[in-house]
Amino acid sequence: MQLHQLKPTIKHKDRKRVGRGGKKGTFSGRGSKGQKSRAGHRIRPGFRGGDNPLWKLFPKQRGAGKKTDIKHAFFQLRRPKPSTVSLEKLDSNFHEGDKVTAKNLVKKGIVRTAKNGIKILGTGELKKKLIISKLKVSAAAREKILKAGGEVN
């Protein structure tokens, strides 16, 4: 068998020609009357025949029903989280008796910025005496720092 001998298995059907008159009846397959039967018709998504669209029926959600001050509610929703530092990082980056402050942590590149505050978490072990000042410290971290002989101010 060669290419010119191939024949289709399905019979060829003539396409239905819509909107051009002809054999398919008076309405040419578009039904009778209405917006969809006209030339150039297009119904936008969400259009409900002139009635309000679905998204206009419901009130806006953000902050609706809250009795607090708007600024206060906004701050609650987007409260900045402090940068976190583990005890393990402090142990590897500081020497015995060093003072750990926000400025030192930024200078050493442990934390990018101290803008939203810094909190020390109790992950890892601490083997050196360190003096931590003006930083937030978790309860577990405080316990480990005091156990190693350090101070928390």
Percentage of the chain beyond pLDDT 90 is: 51
Average pLDDT over residues 76-80: 72
Which sequence spans correspond to the domains of the chain?
Answer: 83-152
Confidence of residue 77 (pLDDT cuts 50, 70, 90): low
* Per-residue model confidence as pLDDT tens digits over 83-139: 999 999 999 999 999 999 999 999 999 999 999 999 999 999 999 999 999 999 999
Confidence of residue 71 (pLDDT cuts 50, 70, 90): low
Rounded mean pLDDT of the chain? 85
CA quadruple 100, 103, 109, 111: dihedral positive or negative? positive
CATH number of the structural domain 83-152: 3.100.10.10
